[in-house]
């Protein structure tokens, strides 16, 4: 070991996490929306540039050999916590590290990681947590690709799974976890609201059940896909989840022009997942990280406007004679499902802008509605500035077995809608026009 200084050991390059980040003014803790404008970045390290440059480099120069060794101790997991400096773009980079710092702020997570897609985030999470013979317990339905990954891909390597419905009671969750506990449960994986039905999972009940049935090292972490409501309308770490997963393509990116994923949680879990990401190379690229930094600055504005629009649109759709049902979280307080309404009150601060629309009829009527839309775009995904509509049974969940689709209410008359930031009255006019074609 040389007598290198601490500054030498950090890599000597424009780094994230600069000293002097402003998190409080006096006794006032700054809000996430404020911190998105500069947290984790020092303009003086980049020629005074107000915004971080895009660091398009595959590798980084070490100030000395000792620093290089120190960084690789973190990269390889010999020392927990990741590299203390910049090493190689498969492991880290300035844009990605600034992004990860800002992602963690929204949910007050200890640490965060950025990935090349939502599914690469989920796959890396699973690969870091499970081994042959382990069991994954999950809520249902899940995003179709997630279900495929669990049952068809991991299943080939001896990983088993058990599930419970998204709206399950504590007793129903207890029954599934008790059955699973006869083997080694490596992970409890949730998605709330469920895609595409909008059914909520009681995260508090899952955490209580897990804590009652498992102890010590046998206690599996709870991970949850928070893409539909997070981070503005739901923060599951506060309800007992250990890890939060995002498709950053959606609200975080918000402009339908990038694909990325994120994982947030405790440092211990993030260190485990980081080691797998370093090995298989699922980190997002610098340009995508830079675009996400841009988008995070307007995240609260975009989500708030989209949520307000969705409330107006759903009020119109709910009273239309050609509509069977609107699966919108904002209507839970009015309905008969007291269980879902209770979860919503405890877990959510808003109803979101993505909902399920059940038309009277079947595939023919759903297709007629979709084909007649003028403003809303017929496309999969959600959380963008524009309104999107799709047919889950025939598109995103086409690969799900028919019996399971019926059990999960993914029916032929279901249309999934993600409301954007257009004028709400214009959107209502578009939906009214499209319903005439049904």
**pLDDT score at 410:** 85
Give the distance from CA 256 to its chain's centroid. 15
**pLDDT score at 178:** 97
Is the confidence at residue 23, as pLDDT, over 80? yes
Torsional class of 409: left (φ above 0), alpha (ψ -120 to 50), beta (otherwise): left
Give buried/exposed letters for 43-57 (b at 16+ CB in 10 A, else e). eeeeeeeeebebbee
Stretch among 81-85, 311-315, 407-411 having the lowest mean pLDDT: 407-411
The contacts of residue 10 (CB under 8 Å, 6+ apart) are 67, 84, 85
Is the confidence at residue 8, as pLDDT, over 50? no
Is the confidence at residue 363, as pLDDT, over 50? yes
Confidence band, pLDDT 50/70/90 cuts, at residue 182:
very high
Architecture of domain 299-436: Alpha-Beta Complex (3.90)
**pLDDT score at 405:** 83
Domain borders along the chain are 299-436
**pLDDT score at 372:** 98
Mean pLDDT of all residues in 254-277:
97
Contact of 365 with 395, CB cutoff 8 Å: no
Q: What are phi and psi of 146, to 5 degrees?
A: -70, -45
Mean pLDDT of all residues in 301-306:
98
**pLDDT score at 144:** 86
The contacts of residue 335 (CB under 8 Å, 6+ apart) are 341
Is the confidence at residue 9, as pLDDT, over 70? no
6: exposed, middle or buried (Cβ count in 10 Å: 0-12, 13-18, 19+): exposed
Mean pLDDT of all residues in 403-414:
85
* Half-sphere exposure (Cβ direction) of 411: Cα atoms closer than 13 Å: 15
Mean pLDDT of all residues in 72-89:
90
**pLDDT score at 408:** 76
Average pLDDT, the chain: 93
**pLDDT score at 177:** 98
Confidence band, pLDDT 50/70/90 cuts, at residue 18:
low
pLDDT tens per residue, range 192-226: 998 888 899 999 999 999 999 998 889 999 999 99
First to last CA, the chain: 75
Residue whose token pair is 């709206």 = 167
Pairing of strands 160-165, 185-191: unpaired
Is the confidence at residue 314, as pLDDT, over 70? yes
**pLDDT score at 196:** 80
Mean pLDDT of all residues in 259-267:
97
Torsional class of 79: left (φ above 0), alpha (ψ -120 to 50), beta (otherwise): beta
Stretch among 10-14, 31-35, 372-376 having the lowest mean pLDDT: 10-14
Structure tokens at 34: 């404020």
Mean pLDDT of all residues in 302-315:
98
Instruction: Count other C-beta atoms under 10 Å from residue 284's C-beta.
Output: 28
Is the confidence at residue 20, as pLDDT, over 70? no
Give the distance from CA 206 to its chain's centroid. 19
Stretch among 39-43, 119-123, 374-378 having the lowest mean pLDDT: 39-43
Q: What are phi and psi of 351, to 5 degrees?
A: -90, -5
Confidence band, pLDDT 50/70/90 cuts, at residue 398:
confident
**pLDDT score at 4:** 39
**pLDDT score at 5:** 40
Is the confidence at residue 10, as pLDDT, over 70? no
Ordered DSSP codes for 238-254: GGT-SEEEEETTTTTT-
pLDDT tens per residue, range 318-358: 999 999 999 999 999 888 889 999 999 999 999 999 999 99
Is the confidence at residue 128, as pLDDT, over 80? yes
**pLDDT score at 19:** 56
């Amino acid at each position: 070991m040389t007598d290198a200084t601490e500054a030498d050991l950090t890599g000597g390059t424009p780094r994230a996490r600069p000293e002097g980040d402003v998190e409080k003014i006096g006794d006032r803790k700054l809000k996430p929306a404020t911190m998105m404008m500069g947290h984790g970045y020092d303009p003086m390290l980049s020629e005074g540039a107000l915004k971080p440059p895009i660091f398009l480099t595959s590798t980084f120069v070490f100030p000395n050999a000792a620093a290089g060794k120190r960084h690789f101790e973190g990269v390889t997991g010999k020392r927990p916590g990741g590299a203390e400096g910049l090493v190689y773009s498969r492991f880290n980079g300035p844009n990605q590290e600034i992004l990860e710092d800002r992602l963690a702020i929204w949910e007050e997570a200890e640490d965060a990681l950025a990935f090349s897609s939502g599914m690469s985030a989920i796959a890396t999470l699973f690969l870091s947590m499970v081994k042959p013979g382990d069991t994954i317990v999950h809520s249902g339905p899940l995003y179709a690709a997630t279900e495929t990954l669990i049952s068809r891909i991991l299943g080939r390597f001896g990983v088993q799974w058990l599930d419970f419905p998204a709206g399950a009671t504590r007793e129903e969750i207890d029954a599934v976890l008790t059955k699973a506990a006869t083997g080694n449960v490596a992970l409890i994986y949730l998605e709330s609201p469920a895609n595409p039905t909008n059914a909520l999972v009681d995260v508090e009940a899952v955490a209580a059940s897990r804590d009652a049935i498992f102890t010590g090292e046998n206690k599996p972490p709870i991970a949850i896909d928070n893409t539909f409501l997070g981070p503005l309308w739901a923060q599951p770490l506060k309800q007992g989840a250990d890890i939060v997963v995002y498709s950053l393509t959606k609200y975080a990116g918000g402009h339908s022009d990038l694909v990325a994923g994120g994982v947030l949680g405790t440092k211990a879990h993030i260190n485990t997942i980081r080691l797998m990401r370093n090995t298989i190379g699922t980190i997002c690229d610098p340009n995508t990280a830079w675009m996400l930094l841009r988008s995070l600055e307007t995240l609260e504005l975009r989500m708030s406007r989209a949520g307000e629009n969705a409330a107006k649109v759903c009020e119109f759709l709910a009273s239309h004679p050609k509509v069977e049902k609107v699966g919108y979280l904002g209507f839970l307080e009015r309905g008969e499902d007291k269980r879902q309404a209770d979860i919503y009150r405890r877990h959510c601060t808003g109803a979101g802008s993505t909902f399920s629309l059940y038309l009277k009829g079947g595939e023919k009527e759903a297709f007629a509605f979709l084909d007649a839309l003028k403003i809303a775009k017929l496309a999969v995904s959600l959380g963008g500035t524009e309104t999107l509509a799709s047919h889950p049974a025939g598109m995103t969940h086409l690969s799900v077995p028919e019996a399971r689709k019926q059990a999960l209410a993914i029916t032929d008359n279901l249309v999934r809608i993600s409301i954007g930031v257009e004028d709400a009255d214009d959107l209502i006019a578009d939906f009214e026009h499209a319903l005439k074609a049904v």
